Structure 1
Amino acid sequence: MERKKIYNPSSDENLNDRRVFNGNPHGILNFTKAKYTWALNLWDMMEANTWFPKEVDTTKDVIDYNKSLTDPEKRMYDLVWSQLISMDSFQTNNLADNINPYITAPEINALLARQAYEEANHSKSYAVMAEAICDNTDLIYEMEKHDEVLRRKNDYISSVYEELAGDVTDEKLLLAMFANQILEGIYFYSGFTAIYALARAGRMLGSAQMIRFIQRDEITHLLLFQNMINSTRKERPDLFTDELKAKVFKMFEEAGKLEIEWGQYITQNQIMGFTDDIIEEYIHFLIDERLSAVGYEKMYNANHPIKWVEDFSKFNEQKTNFFEGNVANYSKGSLSFDDF
């Protein structure tokens, strides 16, 4: 597969001919004419969700970090930011270098560009949090040089991306979509939930508020790749073979093991409401949800073991006095999977 041309005036592709990939695009982005209406809806949602790290007040978090967190909780907090920094750094480059050059639907190109911006904005938010709160900012950004488990997780994630790049084929690009679904829908969640567990105890509320912003973005990113996969399933059913399914399930299985190991490693069974067993069942539940969203059967039939997490990730349904500051009363941010 070759990278698409940026400008192709000789193209005679119409809307019916448009494809997620392997199309023949003109190169002009026209928001008034789009084949994938879900992409326009998702663009509007992402645009409405625009936020900036400076909107979050971290003043009390500095006090909590220094006076309220135990040593295991501080360790967990630092490791969470280190891993989130790694993943959003990977994704900012991956979207621009490995995915978007091969996607031939302009409305999806726009979404991927928007996502890349949001990933960079997340990196800015991590910088704000690490600089304001953590004892050693340089260590946060270089943790993989000192922590073997973090390095192993980063090595695996980056190796999957590198393997699916190289000489791109139809199957490789489709598998890359699944890899991105996994990153957006599995790999972030131990870190998110760890921060919510602290907030549930009334600490690090600014950090949890920042995570709510970030998670809301990541859900739209997850929807983007799930819709890309489902649109490809309609256009190229020939790609969805038993062999592909086996590869996809293997990817999810390996990702689940890695995320469970990471969640149990950062918490060390010492965080209230977030035990080793809960982490395992939660990740299995997420895997089942992600597979169902793209037309596959569940692997584990797991139940949601920590439904209180959902209350921490919502905006409009949040109690107005839960988080101090203007964010608690945001009117934007509702997100319904039913719209997609």
Structure 2
Amino acid sequence: MEKTLQQRKMVDHTAPNASTGIINGKSSNVLNWDNTRFSWAYPMYKNMLANFWVPNEINMSNDRKQWASLTDDEQETFKKIIGLLAFLDSIQTDYSGQIADYLTDSSLSALMQTLAFQEVVHNQSYSYVLSSLVNQSEQEEIFEYWKHDEVLKERNAFITQGYEAFTSSPTPENFLKSVIYDVVLEGIFFYAGFSFFYNLARNGKMVATSTMINYINRDEQIHVTLFANIFKETLNENPDLDKDKFLRFTEETFKTAAELEIKWGRYIIGDRFPGIPMQDLEDYIRFMANKRSKQLGAEKPFKGYDKNPLKWIRAYQEVDEGKSDFFEQKSRQYTKVSEDNGFDEL
């Protein structure tokens, strides 16, 4: 029978401040940022703090004026994506708190608590956006989409079953698998929706909403890196775990995840938005699945797909490349970007 993970102690007088392991290790649980085991932990914490933002700093007045001028398809897709994001970030808040209980390294536990706070901010942004655009009853209806929309239910179940397997049986195997599902959630399952908002923004539509999406995107990229580091370090620290098995599982999981995201993309975008050709979006999702799988140390689930076919999207995703002043929204970030002035991501 596989061993169960130990929960982190509130305090351990006999253990060192710097932990002896990510899972099932020993630590006093006293956090000293100048005495941590992983050189990347404190820089990541500082980066997360430097990225702090709150939705109310972004002026929604222009989006409010533009909302009625959006097409029916644009409004419907807008609302369905917000409904998806609200669900995913809600369970992400809970999951990050639950996994923190089993991280026996105080610096990683602290990073997870910071991450959880950022997810709460993301959810605040969805409420803030909707309260600016629709009435209360419609906002509540959008937050219920996840219960009734069959395409949403299928892809959400893919994540929740992985998370629930860990929370109901916190073994090292379920821990590592839940981390893979986390990278799927934050590194794949947002990206069809993100492309929709960025396409609106490059056409001068709903720029304030896309500003928030851009900041969420930036946060999620850091979260993916954190979980990828935890995944690889845990395998390195625990040679008794079958590394090849987990890497095969990673590749298979990202293949299925990409297929689910493509199905979602066809459902919410399809051939209704000329700026996002569906074939390019499908190839982009496969490209991102390859990228995330490689980040975890696994093989690519899709042969080829080494280049980003949505070249224009890089200008919207990479908020730290000096292209914008988002809160003032005076930026070439939201000028029309073409394949000629976009560039490859990998």
> What amino acid sits opposite 2:315 in the alignment?
D
Equivalent residue for 1:95?
A: 96
Contact residue 76 and residue 266 of structure 1 kept, 8 A: yes
Deviation at 1:318, TM superposition (A): 5.6
Deviation at 1:201, TM superposition (A): 1.3
> What amino acid sits opposite 1:130 in the alignment?
L
Equivalent residue for 1:310?
A: 314
Identity %: 31
C-alpha change, 1:87 and 1:103, in structure 2 (3 Å) is same
Report matched runs for 1:196-235 at 5 Å: 196-235=198-237
Equivalent residue for 2:328?
A: 325
Report matched runs for 1:113-192 at 5 Å: 113-134=113-134, 136-192=138-194
Equivalent residue for 1:251?
A: 253
Deviation at 1:273, TM superposition (A): 2.2
Equivalent residue for 1:107?
A: 107
CA RMSD of aligned residues (A): 2.2
What is the alpha-carbon distance in structure 2 between the residues aligned to residue 37 and residue 327 of structure 1? 36
Deviation at 1:245, TM superposition (A): 2.5
TM-score (norm 2): 0.88
What is the alpha-carbon distance in structure 1 between the residues aligned to residue 155 and residue 211 of structure 2? 26
What is the alpha-carbon distance in structure 1 between the residues aligned to residue 320 and residue 298 of structure 2? 31
What is the alpha-carbon distance in structure 2 between the residues aligned to residue 8 and residue 209 of structure 1? 44
> What amino acid sits opposite 2:85 in the alignment?
L
What is the alpha-carbon distance in structure 1 between the residues aligned to residue 298 and residue 323 of structure 2? 36
Farther off after superposition, 248-257 or 73-82: 248-257
TM-score (norm 1): 0.90
What is the alpha-carbon distance in structure 2 between the residues aligned to residue 320 and residue 121 of structure 1? 21
Contact residue 251 and residue 299 of structure 2 kept, 8 A: no
What is the alpha-carbon distance in structure 2 between the residues aligned to residue 320 and residue 79 of structure 1? 28
Deviation at 1:249, TM superposition (A): 2.0
CA deviation profile, 1:290-338 (whole Å, cap 9, x unmatched): 12122222221213110211101233546558x67268599xxxxxx99
1:5 correspondence with 2:9: yes
CA deviation profile, 1:200-251 (whole Å, cap 9, x unmatched): 1111111111111111111110111011122223222442433323322222
What is the alpha-carbon distance in structure 2 between the residues aligned to residue 161 and residue 327 of structure 1? 40
Contact residue 184 and residue 219 of structure 1 kept, 8 A: yes
Deviation at 1:165, TM superposition (A): 2.3
Contact residue 251 and residue 300 of structure 2 kept, 8 A: no
Deviation at 1:107, TM superposition (A): 0.7
Structure 2 residues without counterparts, runs of 5 or longer: 334-344
Farther off after superposition, 308-317 or 23-32: 308-317
Q: Secondary structure of 2:266's partner? A: helix
Deviation at 1:7, TM superposition (A): 1.3
What is the alpha-carbon distance in structure 1 between the residues aligned to residue 324 and residue 23 of structure 2? 44
C-alpha change, 1:299 and 1:53, in structure 2 (3 Å) is same
CA deviation profile, 1:148-175 (whole Å, cap 9, x unmatched): 2112222232122112321221111111
What is the alpha-carbon distance in structure 2 between the residues aligned to residue 234 and residue 154 of structure 1? 30
Q: Which has the higher contact order (CA 8 A, sep 6+)?
A: 1
Structure 1 residues without counterparts, runs of 5 or longer: 331-336
Equivalent residue for 2:336?
A: none
Farther off after superposition, 115-124 or 302-311: 302-311
What is the alpha-carbon distance in structure 1 between the residues aligned to residue 221 and residue 323 of structure 2? 21
C-alpha change, 1:203 and 1:93, in structure 2 (3 Å) is same
What is the alpha-carbon distance in structure 2 between the residues aligned to residue 188 and residue 222 of structure 1? 12
C-alpha change, 1:289 and 1:106, in structure 2 (3 Å) is same
1:33 correspondence with 2:35: yes
Farther off after superposition, 240-249 or 219-228: 240-249
Farther off after superposition, 282-291 or 292-301: 292-301
C-alpha change, 1:200 and 1:240, in structure 2 (3 Å) is farther
